Amino acid sequence: MAPQPTVTDGSCVVPEWYPSGWRLVRAGRGPGSSGASTDRPSAKLALMTEAAATTARSSNLPDKPRIFSGIQPTGRPHLGNDLGAIRNYVALSEKYEAIYCIVDYHALTHVHNPEVLRRQTLEMAAALIALGLDPDKCSLFVQSDRPEVTELCWLFNTVTPVGWLQRTPTYKEKRANQPEDVNHGLLTYPVLQAADIVLYKASLVPIGRDQAPHLELSREIVRAFNARYGETFPEPQAVYTEAPVVLGTDGVKKMSKSIGNTIEILAEPDVIRKQVMSMVTDTQRILRSDPGRPEVCNVCQMHRHFGADYREIWEGERTARTGCVDTKKLLAERIIAHYAPARETYRALMADPLRLRRILDEGAERIRPIAQATMTEVRERMGLR
Active-site residue flag, 254: yes
End-to-end CA distance of the chain: 34
Point out which residues pair with 23 in neighbouring strands: 48
Residue with Cβ nearer ligand TRP (178 or 278): 178
- Tell me which stretch binds ligand TRP (CB under 6 A): 42-50, 58-66, 158-166, 192-200: 192-200
Please state the closest distance from residue 222 (CB atom) to ligand TRP, in A.
13
Beta-strand relationship, 204-207 and 237-240: parallel
201 is a catalytic site residue:
no
Provide, rounded to whole angstroms, the least separation between the CB of residue 63 and ligand TRP: 21
- Exactly one of 45, 86, 103, 360 binds ligand TRP (CB under 6 A); that residue is 103
| CA-atom Rg of the chain in angstroms | 22
- Counting contacts by CB under 6 A, is residue 199 touching ligand TRP? no
> What letter does residue 145 receive in the DSSP assignment?
G
- The mark string for 63-82 relative to ligand TRP (x by CB under 6 A, - otherwise) is -----xxx-x----------
CB of 251 to ligand TRP, least distance (A): 23
* Binding-site member from 196, 216, 220, 317 for ligand TRP (CB under 6 A): 196
Q: Shortest Cβ contact with ligand TRP: which residue?
A: 70
Whichever of 85 and 267 has its CB closer to ligand TRP, that residue is: 85
Distance in angstroms (rounded) separating the CA atoms of residues 239 and 372: 26
Part of the chain binding ligand TRP (CB under 6 A), chosen from 133-141, 144-152, 193-201, 359-367: 193-201
The residue length of the chain stands at: 385
205 contacts ligand TRP (rule: CB under 6 A): yes
Binding flag, residue 207, ligand TRP (CB under 6 A): yes
Candidate list 44, 64, 254, 274, residue with the active-site label: 254
DSSP 42: T
CB nearer to ligand TRP: give 209 or 288: 209
Q: Which stretch binds ligand TRP (CB under 6 A): 27-35, 62-70, 76-84, 358-366?
A: 62-70
Instruction: Indicate if 257 belongs to the active site.
Output: yes
Within a 10 A sphere around the Cβ of 146, how many other Cβ atoms?
23
374, 200 Cβ separation under 8 angstroms: yes
Closest separation in Å from C-beta 189 to ligand TRP: 7
Q: Give the containing element (helix H, strand E) for 93.
A: helix 87-95
CA dihedral sign of residues 104, 110, 112, 113: negative
Q: At what angle do helices 184-199 and 169-177 cross, to 10 degrees?
A: 140
Residue 70 CA to residue 153 CA, distance in Å, equals: 15
User: Judged by CB under 6 A, which stretch of 203-211, 255-263, 275-283, 362-370 contacts ligand TRP?
Assistant: 203-211
Does the footprint of ligand TRP cover residue 214 (CB under 6 A)?
A: yes
Q: Specify the amino acid at residue 245.
A: V
Asked whether 97 and 106 are in contact (CB, 8 A), the reply is no
Q: Exactly one of 64, 95, 172, 174 is catalytic; which is it?
A: 174
Position 193 contacts ligand TRP (CB under 6 A): yes
For strand 237-240 and strand 66-71, is the pairing parallel, antiparallel, or unpaired?
unpaired
Q: What is the DSSP letter of 104?
A: H
Number of shown-chain residues binding ligand TRP (CB under 6 A): 13
Q: For the range 304-310, what are the long-range contacts, defined as Cβ-Cβ under 8 Å and sequence gap of 24 or more?
A: 305/83, 306/331, 306/334, 306/335, 306/338, 307/334
Q: Which residues are catalytic?
A: 174, 254, 257
Residues at the contact surface with ligand TRP, assessed by CB under 6 A: 68-70, 72, 103, 106, 193, 196-197, 205, 207, 211, 214
